[in-house]
Every structure is written in structure tokens, then in C-alpha cells.
A and B are shown apart, each in its own frame.
Chain A
Amino acid sequence: MGVRMASKVKLGAVVTVVVALGAMLAIGFTFVENANPYVDVEQALANTGDGLHLLGSIDKKSVHSNPLQREISFDLVDAKGKTMHVDYHGEAISNINEADKVVAVGHVKDGVFLSDKLNIKCPSKYEDKRPDAGKPA
């Protein structure tokens, strides 16, 4: 009886563990499959999908914003130094001029990146003005 009970419990535990692992694998797969890739300019041009995350820095001189239309356009320079024009239309963003790096989410149409979401990263306010420890000024 004791032996039967033990094997029963073990079977239950094994099934639970297998189901749990299966579920975790499925979730992991779902996340990876549905997650959106980070791309540079070259990859963005080669990719036809939506939800691309184009990563780069903003060419400050090219920023052109129209808050009334909730539109911002600028040239984005990726890590390889390639440039792409981004047209953003979405939530108003007030700190675009502070932005150092940016992730534009969207798709490419006719060589222009159309974005409806911008993730802005701002550097610490006076980072470049820190007293330079130990170095001759």
C-alpha cells in the first residue's frame, strides 16, 4: 500500500513538473517569438515587418517638431553611422531635445521610418560638466 501511494505521488509530481516545464517553455517561446527585434538602419530597410525597434542617436540639427499635430521628425544615426529619417506621430514628447539615445518603434515605408512610439533616454543633466578628477584642466 505504502509503495503504491509513493509511486502515485511520484507520478503526480512528475506530471506536474512536466506540465509546468512545458508551460514555461511555451511562455518563453511566446515571448521570444512575439518580441520585436532591435534593428539598425540596414536591418530596418531589409525588414518588412511592423514593430521594429530602431535604435540610434538623434541628429539634433534635424529635429523638426510639430506639437499641435503630435508629430516629430528627425534623422536617426545608428551605431554603424548610417542615417535614416524618422517620422514620429504619437504621444507628445517634451524632452526630445534632451534625448541622447532613442528607440523608435514602427516600420519602414519608402525608405522612411514611420514610428508611433519613441523611447527616449536622457543623460544625467550635467554629466559632461563634472569636475575632472585628477586630470589637468
Chain B
Amino acid sequence: MLEAAAHQHWPSAPAWAVDAGILGKTLILLALAFFLTSILGWALPKRTRLMEVAAKWGFVLGGVMLFGAFICLGTLFANDQFEYTYVFSHGDAETAMKYKIAGIWSGQQGSFLLWACTSSIFGIFAARKAGIYRRWFTVAYATFLGMLCGILAYETPFEMARLHGQALLPPQGAGLTASLQNYWVTIHPPTIFMGFGSLTVAFAFGLAAMFTRNVVDWVPLVRPWVILSTAILGLGLCMGGFWAYETLGWGGFWMWDPVENVSFVPWIFSATLLHGLIVQVARKRWYSGNLAMAGLPFVTFCYGTFLTRSGFLGDASVHSFAEMNRVALWILAVFVVLGTLGYYGVYAFLGARLAKMVSGPDDAPARGVNREGLYLSGVLLLSGLSAAVAIGMSVPFFMSLANQKPKAVEEWLYHRVVVWFFVPVLIMMGLAPFVSWRKMGWLQLLNRVLNVIFLTIGLLGCVLIAIKFAPGAIAIDQSQRIPFPLKLWAPLVPWMLVLISVCLFCLVANVWRIVETVRRAPFSVGGFIAHIGVATLMAGLIISRGFEHRERVDLQEGDVASALGYTITFRGMSNQEEQGVFQRDNKALFEMDSKDGGFTARPGLYYEISSDEQLKPIVWPHVEHMPTYDIYFSLNPPVLDVDDPQSIPAGGTSELAKGEIKIKYNGVKREGQPGKVGTKFIANLDIAVTGADGVVRTHHAEPSMEITPNGIAKNQAPVDDQLAVTMEGMNVGQGSAMIQMHFTRAIYPIDLYYKPMTILVWLGAGVTALGGVLAALYRRPAKTAPEREDVAA
């Protein structure tokens, strides 16, 4: 709690800011009213023209109100209005504008507002082209948005903190946690929330198709949105991975954390639905399956959101979740249950029957392969992958429901399960483009992909050569083994080659198909491009992690160390001003030289004063991107103290650094009168240090504590050219002293990683998104020529 005296000097909150908060709250309530109007207007069986207009505009205006509320919140953040609890908790007056803006979505309430806004953008645009489905599409969509408004009304970001009934403006907010302050915090959340928002479209369309009793014509309408949704969500996921890679300091992209899984599961379901829709358009089949799948991305996302906010995963994730207000959580829980039961109830009683009525005869060829068969296997595998991850992330929840001790599902366990889905999925992504919708013999298929197989083998040979002739410092240890199921161990290199060859096959096959089709239908290649992107991304993840190399060095100021073929020299700090190490932009500079050239590593290092007055170092890794590899330079906080202070009784000894340093405390002597300025207490120490040559040298040292007008000064005493010592305190009653050993020059512990082909991860993410957007544009309803529907996607 703040001291009463501190906020006596705070000014009153400006009137405009008080009004902005009231406006924000009102806009959310208005949005709720507009959505209810829209629901009522559309849902009534007998509607006048006026009611229909009101319903249409109610949906649009509800969205506009949400945006208005978002702008209100943004304005409060941009102008440091810390009288609002939410702004206080996530805002910072001294930070750059981009981080002030990012404060909006760094907490619970703001991120729900962002979710509501992005959902309504997609809703408004999709509703305009929803044709005969507009009525029920809007009803379903507005119900969801109304529920979000309900949560935002209960757990509002416009809550003002009043002290003694007064709205006072604190000068500073709590700010974004230091580890979040990175340019990705301004890019990644809006992108991934666009993806989350887009998931509602397929759900609402599916419901609308069933209520409208037409489960045929919705597919071309919903298809571009599903493609776009998959592309944006995929891009958002990749950005999250890049963010983790660049800031967390362990050099990985993905760790199967619940927060990641909550986005991953709906993304895969979205990709599954997208392929199901292709079959329906091309083959006039899968009506029922697609209806069932259309609900999954949204339902699983809502479930995941509930799970992460409920506190059930509290101990299973490295992310700290703010638990939701209980009322808001109940609204969400009820919505998840009602949404799921509602959707699948309507599906069971209505959708499945409607689908059966329109399904054509089963004319699937009995022998050989056809594209539909491969799509079916692909869809089943992807659903399996998604369901597996959903099960994994729900384990702590299920176990606590069953009153069992919660358990943690860790990264390695996910890896072991999901690999069995990824490998066949990648193979199918390579095979499917070569198979026609009509019957095709296995031999015929083999004939078509033979060239691809040969090319893959050729490229694999190149990879082998690269592994064989990798330079000394980064040579791959060919005896390494990795754990396999059933307590087996697989040799690393052959297993990696299997995984790489699967990615290569998928990549080559899709490039081949692009070359074949690009002249005939240049805009139809979006799907192939997306597949190439996925294969590239997977290859990047596999190679950069599997063939990673890591070395550790402890570098002392002025010394030179070597690791991974580099000579490393510490050059000092980038910010030369006094107090420069307290500036956020301060970097530690390390010269990295190798025979092939070098670079300057600039890991971030600055200090904050923590709430308990301690110096708190904050570090960021440096990533040097090279064409074929990354050097990941992870700096750990510099070390100045040999160990913690040692309490030593007079005449006693203490050992440090595994016995290499022995301190003998002979007692203390006083110079001057007790309590007078200038009085010194001098410790008499004998310190035995075992040198690098194994010789023990004993040094005498006399650190002291001195009473000065500004308090007690601790005078450091040199021990040798590496070490110094201070007395940190005394206990007169026990006759003991607190002795602290220091390094004369700070030691920088560095973890250096060599990560080959990380560039593929970036490239793959970009290519996948590009392919997705191309495909979505190509499938826009207005421009889709019916005769083109059988062109491979």
C-alpha cells in the first residue's frame, strides 16, 4: 500500500480522463445493447424491413462501439492516466510510445477488448458477404461478441482507483515487465489476436448453415476466411516463436507451453477444416464432416482461453497468468459449455441429417489411390495431432477434476508424441498434389513422384556432405544418441536425416507442382507455396535444434576467451555516460573474431533498482544471423562477488570456491571513538588463495568499515590482482564479522550457441503466410470461377 504522504502531492485526475473512462465503460454497454438488438432483430421469425435494417446496423455499430472503447483505453495509456488501475498496472510514463500502446494488451482486460475488436472486424466483413446465411451468422456472432462485452463490463479496464474518494493521478505506473519490453510486444499480440478473432467466422458460418438448412452453399463463402484465418494465426504463432528465440536466452522457438498450445490447437483444426472444404467443393462430399469441423477451431480456442485463465494450469506453465475475476470466468465457462453443447447439439439433431440429405452417392474408387483418400488420411492425422496436443494441455485440468494430484506434461513428452503425426503429414503434403481426384493406381502415382524422390535423394546427399565436412569447431558429434519411445535410443545423425528427407520430399514435390501448374493457373499455387513454407519451417526447427552446438565461457573484463572457433574480447559498455548501465538501451560489447571474419556481439545488459533496493541486472541475448547459421550469444548477469558474504567468528576460518579460497578472521580493531565520524573498524584477515598453478599464496588484508557523515562506508582491501575483500557487517555480541570476497574485474558468464540453418525458420514462416494469403485471395467468392474448383489447392 502506498504511504499516505506520497499521494498527498498527486494532482487530481484531469476531467477529460475521467470522462474518457466513463465513455469507455458506456461504449462497452452500448456495444452490448447493439449486439442484443442485432440478435433480437435477426432471430425473430417475423421481421419488418426496419427490424432487419436495425439488426444489420446493430451488428456494425456494436463493433464500432468496441473500437471506440479500445481508442479510449489507448488514449488513457498514451497519456499516462495511472488513476485507472489497469493503466497503472501495465503503463509506464518513462517508456517509449510503442510500449505504452503495448500496455493495452499486456493484461487480462485489455487483451479481451482486443479479442472483441478483432473478432468484430472479421464479423462485419464476413457478414456483408454471407448472403442467405447472414441472418443466423449474425445471430451467432453477435451472441459471442455480446458475451465478450459482458465479461468486459464485469471486469472492466476502466476501473478507477479512488483514494479517500478522490481520483488522484499517480506520476508513474508499474510498467511492462522488463522481459516483455521488446519490439515483438507491439507486433505479435495484435497479429495473433487477429488470428483468434478470425476463428469465430467458421463457427458462426457452420451454425448459420445448419439453421438456414442449407449445408451446401456456405462452403465457398467461408473458405477464403478459413484460409486467411489459418495464414494469420500461423504467422502469429511463428512471431511468438521468434520472440521467444530472441529474448528468452535458451535459443529455442517452441516449448509446448500451455499458452502456445492454446493457439496451436485451433490453428491445426483450422488447417484441417480448410482441407475438408476443398474436398467438399471438388467432390460434393464431406458435408457432415465439414460441419462438424467448422466448430472446432473456435470451440477449442475458447476452451483453451478458459483453461489458461482459470488457474488450473497455474503451476504447469512458465507464464504467470492473472486469474480472471470469478464472475467473468463463469461467463466464459458457461459460454464454452453452451457454445460446444449448442453447436454439437444442433449438429447432432439437425446438421448431420441435413448433410445426409444432400450427400451424393458414394463413388469413391475402390482400388488405388485418389486425392480424397489422401485428404481423408491427412485430415484424420491433423485432427489427431491437434487432439493429442489438446489432451496434453488438459492433463492438469482433468487430473484436478478427478481430484488427483496434478501432473506436468513436459516438452520432451510432446516431442515424442507429435513426431508420429508430423512425419506422415509431411509425406502426404508431398504426395497429395500428385494424386488426381479420380482413381489412380499406386504404380501410376509412383511413376509421377519418381523424379521427386530422386531429387530428394540427391539433395539429401548434399546435406550429408555438409554434415561430413562441417568445420572443426561446429563438427557434428556423430556418436550422439537421442531417446526414443520404449526406452530405446536412436543415433542422432541417421534419425535427423530421416526427418530432413521427409521435409525435403515435401518441399521438392510442391516446387515441382508449382512449375507444372504456374503457367496454366498462376494464382492457384498459393496452397503449394504454403506447403513449401511449412516444410521449410519444419526443416529449420529440426536442423537448428538437432545440430545445435553449445559452449560456455566465463570472460573477465580485459581477458580473451575462445569458443566455437571465435576469439571473444570484452570491449566495455555501449553507453559511456555516467550511470549509463542504468539505461535500457545499454549493451555489453564483445568483439567476436574468427578466421572467416567477425562481428561485435551486443547483448543487452542494464541494471534496475528492485523494490528491495537491490541492484537487479537485466540481460538480453544477442543473435547474429549468418546465411547458414546463427550465433546465439546469451550473456548471463555479470558476477562481481565470489560467493555470498561469510559470517566468520573471530579466530575462525571460512572456505570459498570449493576450498580454493580460505579466509581466516583474526579479529577487529577500532581506530577513533565509538559513534564519532571518522571512526574505523578494521578487520584483520589472512586469505589463502590456490592459484591456477596449484600454489597456495597467503595474503594479509585489512578491509574496514568507517563512520562517515553519510553513514557507514565499506572500504575495500586488495587481496591479489584478481581478488578484493570487504567487511559487510559485524556482530559485536558474537565477535563475528561478515566478510565478502569480490573479483576485482567482473566476470561475464556466456553461453554461446551455434544454430545451423535457423534462417529456414524465418523463411518458412514468411513463405507459409504468403502462400496462405495468395490462396485466400484466389478463393474470394466473387472471383471464384466454378470450373476452376478442381484445380489443386
Contacts and interface: CB of A to CB of B under 8 A. Distances in A.
Nearest to A92: B636
Interface of A: 5, 9, 16, 20, 23-24, 27-28, 30-32, 34-39, 43, 51, 53, 55, 64-68, 70, 91-92, 94-95, 97-98, 101, 103, 119-134, 136-137
Contact of B407 (A35, A65, A128): A35
B164 to A, nearest CB: 7
A interface majority secondary structure:
mixed
Interface string B374-416: 0000001001100110011001000100000111111001000
Contacts of B320: 121-124
Nearest to A135: B1
A66 B177 CA distance: 25
B465 interface: no
Given A36-B410, A94-B618, A98-B610, A130 B391 contact: no
Contacts of B160: 133
A132 B163 contact: yes
A24 B391 contact: yes
Given A131-B88, A131-B161, A137-B2, A38 B408 contact: yes
Interface residues of B, number: 63
B619 A94 contact: yes
Among B159, B361, B408, B619, the most chain A Cβ lie within 10 Å of the Cβ of: B408
Contacts of A55: 315
Contact of B318 (A38, A94, A120, A136): A120
Contact of A64 (B88, B159, B163, B644): B644
Given A130-B89, A132-B163, A31 B1 contact: no
Nearest to A27: B388
A39 B616 CA distance: 31
Interface string B164-205: 110010100011010100000000000000000000000000
A91 to B, nearest CB: 6
Given A68-B749, A124-B89, A132 B2 contact: yes
Contacts of A64: 643-644
B649 interface: no
A137 B5 CA distance: 10
Contacts of B3: 137
Nearest to B391: A28
A103 B315 contact: yes
A20 B380 contact: yes
A37 B405 contact: yes
Contacts of B7: 131, 137
Contacts, number: 153
A39 B407 CA distance: 9
Interface of B: 1-4, 7, 85, 88-89, 159-165, 168, 170, 174-175, 177, 179, 249-250, 315, 318, 320, 322, 361-362, 380, 383-384, 387-388, 391-392, 395, 399, 405-410, 413, 417, 552, 554, 610-611, 614, 616-619, 636-637, 639, 643-644, 747, 749, 751
B409 A35 contact: yes
Contacts of A53: 315, 407-408
A68 B85 contact: no
Given A32-B407, A133-B85, A137-B2, A38 B177 contact: no
Nearest to B172: A126
B343 to A, nearest CB: 19
Contacts of B410: 35-36, 51
Contacts of A122: 177, 320
Contacts of A16: 380
A91 B619 contact: no
B417 A133 contact: no
Nearest to B4: A137
Contact of A27 (B175, B361, B391): B391
Given A67-B749, A119-B318, A129 B2 contact: yes
B144 to A, nearest CB: 28
Contacts of B1: 128-129, 132, 137
Given A32-B399, A121-B320, A20 B384 contact: yes
Contact of B614 (A32, A97, A103, A137): A97
Nearest 9 interchain pairs by C-beta: A35-B407, A126-B174, A92-B636, A133-B161, A131-B161, A35-B409, A137-B4, A27-B388, A94-B637
12 contacts: A16-B380, A24-B384, A27-B391, A31-B391, A66-B643, A95-B179, A97-B614, A124-B320, A126-B174, A130-B161, A130-B174, A132-B163
A53 B315 CA distance: 9
A30 B177 contact: no
A65 to B, nearest CB: 8
Contacts of A137: 1-4, 7, 163-164
B751 A92 contact: yes
A131 B747 CA distance: 40
Given A37-B407, A67-B636, A131-B161, 11 more contacts: A32-B395, A64-B643, A64-B644, A95-B179, A97-B614, A125-B174, A125-B611, A126-B175, A131-B168, A137-B1, A137-B164
A36 B749 CA distance: 31
Contacts of A34: 409, 413
A119 B413 CA distance: 17
Contact of B636 (A94, A103, A123, A126): A94
A31 B409 contact: yes
